[in-house]
Amino acid sequence: MSILYKLTLVLTLIVYPIAQAKSSDFLGVVQYLNKHHEEIKNKDLFHVSGVFQRCAGVFGAYGKYLPTDMRDMKLKFVNLSVESMKKSINYLNMKKQNKPELNIKQVDTAVRYFTDVYYKSLEIDQLNTGTIMKGNSATDMKMCMGWFK
C-alpha cells in the first residue's frame, strides 16, 4: 500500500464518525426550540421533555470534556445533567404516554446520545476556535443555563 492510500484511509476513518454526529438530522437545543416553538409554548410535555434531554446532553458533555483539575466545575455540570434528566422524566411521566420505567429508559438513551454528539461538537469547537466557549455547543449551553434560572 502506498503512503498516500494509507493517509487517505486514516483521514477517512477519523472524519467519518464526526460527520455522522454532525448530521443534518440532529437538532440542538436552539434548533429544537425553534422547530417546536408552538408546542413548547403550549406546554406540550413531550417537547418540553425533549429540551431538557438535550440540555442534559449539553451539561453531560461539558462535564465529560473538562479536564480533571476542574473537578468542581465538572461536578456542577454532572449535577445539572442529572437535574435535567429528572425534569425530562417528570415531564414524560406527567404526560402519561408511557409507563414511568419506559420514560426512564427513553431519557437515558437520549441523554447518552446527546452527550456523545455534544462531546464531539466540543472537540470540533476546541479545534476550530481554540475554546469550547464558542460555537453551537456554547450557544446551546447558554440557552440551557437560562432554563435553569
The predicted structure's pLDDT at residue 2: 55
Q: In the 3-class helix/strand/coil scheme, how is 77-128 assigned residue by residue?
A: HHHHHHHHHHHHHHHHHHHCCCCHHHHHHHHHHHHHHHHHHHHHHHHHHHHH
Q: State pTM to two decimals.
A: 0.80
Tens digit of each residue's pLDDT (9 = 90 or more) over 58-107 = 999 999 999 999 999 999 999 999 999 999 999 999 999 899 999 999 99
